[in-house]
Structure 1
Amino acid sequence: MSPSLSPFPPIADYAFLSDCHTGALVAPDGSVDWLCLPAFDSASVFGNLLDRGAGSFRFGPYDINVPTARAYEPGTNVMTTTWHTPSGWLVVRDALVMGPRRGADVVTPHTRPPADDDTEHMLVRTVECLRGSVEVELVCEPAFDYGRTPATWTLVGDDDHTADATGAGQTFRLSTDMLIGIEGGSARARHVLSTGDTAFCALSWSATLAAPTDAQDAVARVEATIHFWRQWLSRARVPDHHLRPAIERSALTIKGLTYMPTGATVAALTTSLPETPGGERNWDYRYTWIRDTTFTLQALHYLNLDWEADEFMQFVADLEPTEDGSLQIMYGIDGRRDLTESTRDELSGYEGARPVRIGNGAFDQRQNDVYGAVLDSILLHTARSSHLPRRLWPLVESQATAAMKAWREPDQGIWEARGKPQHYVSSKLMGWVALDRAAKLAAIRDDAEREATWRAEADVIRADILEHGVSDAGVLRQHYDTEALDASTLLAPLFGFLPGTDPRIRATVEAVERDLSENGFVLRYRTDETDDGLSGKEGTFLICSFWLVSALATIGEMDRANAVMERLLRIASPLGLYAEEFEVERARHLGNVPQAFSHLALIEAAGRIVLDDYRRELSL
C-alpha cells in the first residue's frame, strides 16, 4: 500500500507517553492508537496501531485532523498539541499521570523499593480554548484483548459524566465534564468551548477507578506529572553541549520504557511494527533483553542515574537461570521465563505487515553473547559503586562458568537469526568480554585463582577470534565461515577487545562505513548474504549507525563521527524519537518504537563526541 494512501500514520509521527508502568502512542489527529493495560506487556485496549478496528481514543476538535503544532512539555513525557480551527484555537495536553505514592500498588505490585512518586494508573487529557470557539469531540472506542472484544459500556451515576468499559475480564472508567453518550461499543461526547473555557477527560484503571473530580483537578494532575519528569531529569548529569536536547530526550525515553515495579526496561513499547514494509519481520519487543543490560548501565551511569542503574541490576540478580545456570536472552518485565510466541491472524498488521506476534519465539534461543552482557554490566556497576554486592558474586561465577562451556559452540548470534547456528564473531567477542570482566571482578574480590583461570580463557578466545574471525583483508567477519560483514563487529573497539589504533579495527570500521551502509546509514548485515531464516529486505538499523559514530571516535576520526551523528539527528522523529530502523529510500522509520537500543546507543555516541569536544577546548 502506498504510504500516501495508508490509513496508518507514519511510525515516526506518534507521540510517546509513559508512567513507567505502561505507555501510550498518540497519533497526530489526537487518537490514542496504542495502550496496553495495566502494564507494557499486557493486552492492548487501544490497538489501532495494528488494525484500524482494534480500538482508539480521540480527544480534539471536531472534524479537524491535522494539528498546528505538537511538542513535549520541555523536560517531560507530557504531550501538548495545538489546534487551529476555522473558528478558534485550542490546546490539548495528554499525560499518563504520576503522583505521590498512596500505599501499596495492587494493580502492578512492586518488587523494588517504592519511590515517593508513582503511577496513578490514569490517562488524563485536558483542553483549553485559547481564542474563539471550538467544538471538542471525545470518541472512546476500546477493543480489549488486542481488538478481540468490543467494550460493554455502563453509565455510572445519574449525571452522564462517568462510564465504565468492560471486556475480556478488564474494566476501566471514563470520566469527563462533558456529557457522555453510549453508541454500541463507543462512548462519545461533544461540547463547544469558548475563549478561556476548559474541559477534561480521563481513563482510570486503578484499583478504585479513582478519577479527577473536575477540570481543575485534572489540570493539577497533569502539572504534577510535569513536575515529576522535570524533577527526575534534574538528577541526570547532562552536559552543556549542542547535543544536550537529544541526550535529554533519550534519557526521558529510556526512563519512560522502564517498568518501575521491577526495574526492568522494555526494548520498545510496541509489538509487530514492521522492519520490512508489508513483510514478516515483525516482532514483540515488550520484554527485557539481557544483552541490553550493558548498554543500559553505560547510559545510566553516564547520566549519573545511579538509582535506576541499581534497580536494573537488582532485577537481573533476581532472574531465574536456565537449567545450566545461564540466563535466557530475554525475560518478561516481571522476570517470567516463558515468552511463547503466538500470532493474532485476525489483525491486519501495520500497513498489512503480518503476522502480528504476541510473545517472542527467540526467548529460548542459544545466544552466547548473553554472558558478556551480564558480566560487563556487573563490572560497570561495581566500578561505579566501588562495591561488589554479595548477591551478585554467585551470578559472576555462574555466568563465567557458562561462558567457558559455551563460547566454542555455534549460536544464533546477536541478531537472533532464525537460520542455521554459526560461529558468529560478535558472540565470540562477548565470550571474551565475559571472561575478561569476570577476571577483573575476581581481582576486585581478591580471588587470584579464579582471576588466573578466567584471564587465561579470555586470552584463548581472543586468539581464536583473531585466527578465524578476520578476513584476508584484515576485517572482522560476520562469522567464521563467511566473508560477509556484520555491524556487530563495531562493538570490538567499544568493548576494548582491540585498541582503536589496531589496523584490524580501523579496517573493520572503514569496511562497515563503506560497504555496509546505504546513504550513510548502517545495515545490520546484507540479507542476501546472511541466512537469517526470513525473507525480504530490511531497513538500516539505527543502533548500528550510532555504533559507527562511537567506533569512528575510537579510531580518531572525529570529523566523520560528527558527520554521521548530525545525519542521525536530522532523521529523528518530529518529537525527537527513534524507532528501530530507517528506510533510506522513503526516508521513514521502521520497526518498533520508541526503541530503547537506538536511544541507548545515541547516548553513548553523544558521550564520546562531548568528551572529545571538551578535550579540544582544554587543549586550546
Structure 2
Amino acid sequence: MSDADARYAPIEDYAVIGDCASAALVGKDGSIDWLCWPRFDSPSIFAALLDADDGGHFQVCPVEDFTVERRYLPNTNVLETTFTTDTGVLRLTDLMPVAERPAYRRELWPTHEVLRRIECVEGTVEVSVACDPRLEYGRIDPPMEDRGPHGFFYNHQGTVLIVRSELPLTRSRGRGALYAQHTLRAGDQQFLSLTYDEGEPAVLPLLGEHAERKLARSVDYWRDWASQCEYEGPYRGAVVRSALTLKLMTFAPSGAIVAAPTTSLPEAIGGERNWDYRYCWLRDAALTLRALYELGYDEEGRAFFSWLLHATRLTAPELSVLYDVHGNADVEERTVSHLEGYRRSPPVRIGNGAYDQLQLDTYGELISAAYEFVQYEERLDGWHKRLLAELGDEVCVRWRGPDEGIWEVRSGRHHHTFSKAMCWVALDHLVALHEEGYLSVPVDYYRDVRADIRQAVEEHGYNEGLESYVATFDGDQVDASLLLLPFYGYTEATAPRMESTFEHHHQELAQDGLLYRYLPSTDDGLSSEEGAFGICSFWDEEMFARLGRVDEARENFDRTLSYANDLGLFAEEIDPETGAFLGNFPQAFTHVGLINAALTLENPSDDSSGPSLTSGR
C-alpha cells in the first residue's frame, strides 16, 4: 500500500450513524471522516473520507497502539467501539440523537448533534481528541470563538457549530482545530458533543445527565422501531440491520430514502466511476416499497410513496432519474477539484448528471410502486389517479425510443430490453388498476400498446442463439437487471425463456457468490472497471429460489452475506477477489436487495409483485 493509500481506511472499516436527516461515517480508529449537515446532500462538515489532509475530521482514540472491537448496540444505530491497549480498555459510544417528538418538546435539543461518550472500563488509557471542522467540502476553515463553559463556537454564514466537551480542549494556533490529550482511569466517563443550528441557539444544557438521557432515548427509539419488524425467519439479524440502515437513510421530513449518504467513493481505485449518491432514485421505488411493507413498516411505506408521487408530479409527464430529498430534480453535476478523492481517486462529484437522462424503465418502476401501494393500502387519491394515467399516456408515446437504461450508461442511448419490458409493466399494472376499480384509463388502447411492446421485446430482446434475453435489442450482451422480469410480473421465473436467461446470466456474471451487473467489456461510455454489484447478487439468489432451487439459493445467500463488514453493512459494490468494498457506502439498494431476497427465500412461490399473469398478457 502506498503512503497515500495508508492515509485512507478501507471503506468496509466504516460504520454509519444518523438521525433520519443526515449521517456520519465513523472509522475503526474512532474518526468521523464524513458528515454533512443539515441534510444528507448538504456540504460537508468533515470530509477526510475524500481528502485525508484537508477534508476535516473528528477523532477520539487512545494515544497508544490499540486493537479494536465494535458493534451496534443491539437493534439500534448507536455505535460502540472498544479499544484495547497494553494499559487498559476504552469504550467509545457514538450516535446522532433521535427520539419521538415529545422528547424534543420537553427539553432543549439542537437541530442536529453528534454525541460521543468516552468510558475507561479497565486500567488507564491516555485519550487523544482532535476536532477539525472544514466546511463546504474542506474549502472553509471557519472562525472559532472560545466561550468558556458554553463551548467553542464556529460561525459561518449563519451556520453555528458548537463543540462542547467534559475534557479540557486546547485550540490550535492560527486555526480552528481543537485538541485534547488526557488520561482516564477505570470508571471515568466523559462526553463530547458537536451540534449544528441555523442561527445562534439558546444556551444548551450541560452534558452529563442530559447527554445520558439523550443516549437512552435514542436507544429506546431505535429498539422500539426495530421491534416492529415482522420478519421472523432465519436471517432476522441481517434483515433488521438492513431495515435499520434504510431507516437511518430516510429523510424523515419528506419520506425520501437516499441511495447512500456519501459521494464519490470510487467503483475502482484510480478510476473515474465516482458518483454522488445522496439522492433518491426512482429505480429503487417498487423494490423499496415492497421491502418496507413486507417488514411491517407501513408508515414508512406510505411516506415513501407520498414522496415519490410528490416528486414526480413536479416533472410529469417526464420523469427524472433521481430527485433530492425534497423532490427537486435539478441536481446538476459538478466536480470539486480541491479534494484529492478517496485514495487519490478523483474526481469528487457533487450532484449527479444522470438526473436529466431518459430512463424509460422508471415509468414501470413508479407505476409498479403504485400497484404495490394499492395492494397494502387499497386506495389511491384523486391526484394520484390523474398522475398515473398521465404517465401511462406518456409510456404509449415514448416506448419505441432509445434511452440510457437502468444503469445510466454514458455511451449514448440504446434500445434497452429491460426499459422496454418495464414499459410493458407500466401499462400492465395500469390495466390491472383499472380492472380493479382504482382508476380509469383507456384500457383497450393500453392493452393494444402493451401487446406491441411484448411483441417487440420477444422478437428483438431475446437472442435465440444464446437462449437469453439480452441487454439491448438485437444484441448479445448480458444485463443483470433482466433477472427482475419475474419480480415485476413480465414473465414467470419458470418460463422457458426466463429460466434459460437466468442460466446464461449466472454463467456469465457470477464470481465467488457475487454477480456483476454486466460484463467489464461492455461499452458504457466510461473507462476503468468496477466491482460486483451488491444487489445483483441478491437478485440472482431470488431467481434460484423462484426456480425451486432453494438449497442453492440459501447457499449463495449465505455466501453473499459473508461479504458484509463486521457490522452487517454493504457498499454498492464488492471486489470478489479481495472482498474489499467499492462505491458509495452504505448502499440502500444493496440492503433492499438483501431484505427482498430473505423474504423470497421464506416464500419462493411468491413469484411476482405484479398482476397475475394470464395468457392474454
TM range (shorter): over 0.9
What residue in structure 2 maps to residue 556 of structure 1?
A: 548
How much does 1:447 deviate?
Answer: 5.7
What residue in structure 2 maps to residue 523 of structure 1?
A: 516
Instruction: Give runs of aligned pairs for residues 72-91 of structure 1, distance below 5 A.
Output: 72-91=72-91
Work out the CA distance in 2 between the residues paired with 1:566 and 1:267. Answer: 24
Work out the CA distance in 2 between the residues paired with 1:209 and 1:481. Answer: 66
Decide whether aligned partners of structure 1 residues 325 and 5 sit closer, same or farther in structure 2, where only a CA change above 3 A counts. closer
What residue in structure 2 maps to residue 606 of structure 1?
A: 598
Decide whether aligned partners of structure 1 residues 98 and 128 sit closer, same or farther in structure 2, where only a CA change above 3 A counts. same
Given the alignment of the two structures, is residue 369 of structure 1 paired with residue 361 of structure 2, yes or no?
Answer: yes
What residue in structure 2 maps to residue 109 of structure 1?
A: none
Instruction: Give runs of aligned pairs for residues 260-275 of structure 1, distance below 5 A.
Output: 260-275=252-267
Letter in 2 for 1:434: A
Deviations 1:182-219 (A, max 9, x none): 10221112322212111010011135266451322212
Contact 1:12-1:573 within 8 A present in 2 as well: yes
Work out the CA distance in 2 between the residues paired with 1:296 and 1:483. Answer: 30
Decide whether aligned partners of structure 1 residues 117 and 215 sit closer, same or farther in structure 2, where only a CA change above 3 A counts. closer
> What secondary structure is seen at the aligned counterpart in 2 of 1:172?
strand
Contact 2:538-2:593 within 8 A present in 1 as well: yes
Contact 1:290-1:329 within 8 A present in 2 as well: yes
Instruction: Give runs of aligned pairs for residues 383-394 of structure 1, distance below 5 A.
Output: 383-394=375-386
Given the alignment of the two structures, is residue 281 of structure 1 paired with residue 273 of structure 2, yes or no?
Answer: yes
> What secondary structure is seen at the aligned counterpart in 1 of 2:486?
helix
Decide whether aligned partners of structure 1 residues 520 and 83 sit closer, same or farther in structure 2, where only a CA change above 3 A counts. closer
What residue in structure 1 maps to residue 468 of structure 2?
A: 475
Given the alignment of the two structures, is residue 294 of structure 1 paired with residue 286 of structure 2, yes or no?
Answer: yes
Deviations 1:76-112 (A, max 9, x none): 110001111222112110000013426999xxxxxxx
Deviations 1:369-411 (A, max 9, x none): 1111110011111110111222311121121111111111100
Contact 1:151-1:185 within 8 A present in 2 as well: yes
Letter in 1 for 2:369: S
What residue in structure 2 maps to residue 326 of structure 1?
A: 318
Instruction: Give runs of aligned pairs for residues 235-250 of structure 1, distance below 5 A.
Output: 235-239=228-232, 241-250=233-242
Letter in 1 for 2:497: R
Instruction: Give runs of aligned pairs for residues 223-242 of structure 1, distance below 5 A.
Output: 223-239=216-232, 241-242=233-234
Decide whether aligned partners of structure 1 residues 73 and 449 sit closer, same or farther in structure 2, where only a CA change above 3 A counts. closer
Work out the CA distance in 1 between the residues paired with 2:159 and 2:563. Answer: 39
Deviations 1:522-577 (A, max 9, x none): 1111131x221100111110111111011122222212211210110111111100
What residue in structure 2 maps to residue 39 of structure 1?
A: 39
Work out the CA distance in 2 between the residues paired with 1:38 and 1:211. Answer: 18
Deviations 1:492-529 (A, max 9, x none): 1221211122111111111111111223311111131x
What residue in structure 1 maps to residue 12 of structure 2?
A: 12
Instruction: Give runs of aligned pairs for residues 309-388 of structure 1, distance below 5 A.
Output: 309-319=301-311, 321=313, 325-388=317-380
Contact 2:152-2:162 within 8 A present in 1 as well: yes
How many residues are matched? 600
What residue in structure 2 maps to residue 112 of structure 1?
A: none
Decide whether aligned partners of structure 1 residues 546 and 182 sit closer, same or farther in structure 2, where only a CA change above 3 A counts. same
What residue in structure 1 maps to residue 610 of structure 2?
A: none
What residue in structure 2 maps to residue 146 of structure 1?
A: 137
Work out the CA distance in 1 between the residues paired with 2:103 and 2:598. Answer: 40
Instruction: Give runs of aligned pairs for residues 166-181 of structure 1, distance below 5 A.
Output: 166-167=155-156, 170-181=159-170
> What secondary structure is seen at the aligned counterpart in 1 of 2:99?
strand
Letter in 2 for 1:12: E
Letter in 2 for 1:126: R
Letter in 2 for 1:61: P
Instruction: Give runs of aligned pairs for residues 180-199 of structure 1, distance below 5 A.
Output: 180-183=169-172, 184-199=175-190
How much does 1:611 deviate?
Answer: 2.3
Instruction: Give runs of aligned pairs for residues 572-611 of structure 1, distance below 5 A.
Output: 572-611=564-603
Identity of aligned residues (%): 37
Work out the CA distance in 2 between the residues paired with 1:9 and 1:500. Answer: 41
> What secondary structure is seen at the aligned counterpart in 1 of 2:270?
coil
Decide whether aligned partners of structure 1 residues 103 and 603 sit closer, same or farther in structure 2, where only a CA change above 3 A counts. closer
How much does 1:22 deviate?
Answer: 0.1
Contact 1:67-1:83 within 8 A present in 2 as well: yes
Question: Which has the larger displacement, 453-462 or 417-426?
Answer: 453-462
5+ residue gaps, structure 1: 106-115, 615-620
> What secondary structure is seen at the aligned counterpart in 2 of 1:494?
coil
Decide whether aligned partners of structure 1 residues 60 and 323 sit closer, same or farther in structure 2, where only a CA change above 3 A counts. closer
What residue in structure 2 maps to residue 617 of structure 1?
A: none
Work out the CA distance in 2 between the residues paired with 1:117 and 1:421. Answer: 53
What residue in structure 1 maps to residue 22 of structure 2?
A: 22
Deviations 1:117-174 (A, max 9, x none): 9985111000111122222222100110000111322111x34x61012346532100
Out of 494, 507, 511, the residue aligned to residue 504 of structure 2 is 511
What residue in structure 2 maps to residue 542 of structure 1?
A: 534
Out of 424, 427, 437, the residue aligned to residue 435 of structure 1 is 427
Question: Which has the larger displacement, 399-408 or 201-210?
Answer: 201-210
What residue in structure 2 maps to residue 216 of structure 1?
A: 209
How much does 1:4 deviate?
Answer: 10
> What secondary structure is seen at the aligned counterpart in 1 of 2:482?
helix
Contact 1:98-1:117 within 8 A present in 2 as well: no
Contact 1:276-1:538 within 8 A present in 2 as well: yes
Out of 146, 164, 179, the residue aligned to residue 153 of structure 2 is 164
> What secondary structure is seen at the aligned counterpart in 1 of 2:427?
helix
What residue in structure 2 maps to residue 462 of structure 1?
A: 454
Decide whether aligned partners of structure 1 residues 85 and 613 sit closer, same or farther in structure 2, where only a CA change above 3 A counts. farther
Contact 2:415-2:473 within 8 A present in 1 as well: yes
TM-score (norm 2): 0.93
Work out the CA distance in 2 between the residues paired with 1:10 and 1:540. Answer: 17
Work out the CA distance in 1 between the residues paired with 2:360 and 2:179. Answer: 53
Deviations 1:217-250 (A, max 9, x none): 21221111111000111122121x3211110000
Work out the CA distance in 1 between the residues paired with 2:382 and 2:169. Answer: 57
Letter in 2 for 1:143: R
Letter in 2 for 1:23: A
> What secondary structure is seen at the aligned counterpart in 2 of 1:493?
coil
Letter in 2 for 1:205: Y
> What secondary structure is seen at the aligned counterpart in 1 of 2:25?
strand
Contact 2:126-2:182 within 8 A present in 1 as well: yes
What residue in structure 2 maps to residue 307 of structure 1?
A: 299
Work out the CA distance in 2 between the residues paired with 1:316 and 1:578. Answer: 25
Contact 1:127-1:200 within 8 A present in 2 as well: yes
Decide whether aligned partners of structure 1 residues 527 and 174 sit closer, same or farther in structure 2, where only a CA change above 3 A counts. same
Deviations 1:331-379 (A, max 9, x none): 1111112101000111110111110000001100010011111100111
Work out the CA distance in 1 between the residues paired with 2:552 and 2:504. Answer: 14
Letter in 1 for 2:433: L
> What secondary structure is seen at the aligned counterpart in 2 of 1:54?
coil
Deviations 1:6-37 (A, max 9, x none): 21111011011010010000011000000001
5+ residue gaps, structure 2: 607-617
How much does 1:323 deviate?
Answer: 6.2
TM-score (norm 1): 0.93
Decide whether aligned partners of structure 1 residues 98 and 85 sit closer, same or farther in structure 2, where only a CA change above 3 A counts. same
Letter in 1 for 2:533: F
Contact 1:494-1:551 within 8 A present in 2 as well: no
Work out the CA distance in 1 between the residues paired with 2:186 and 2:202. Answer: 32
Question: Which has the larger displacement, 464-473 or 96-105?
Answer: 96-105
> What secondary structure is seen at the aligned counterpart in 2 of 1:35?
strand
Work out the CA distance in 2 between the residues paired with 1:192 and 1:6. Answer: 28
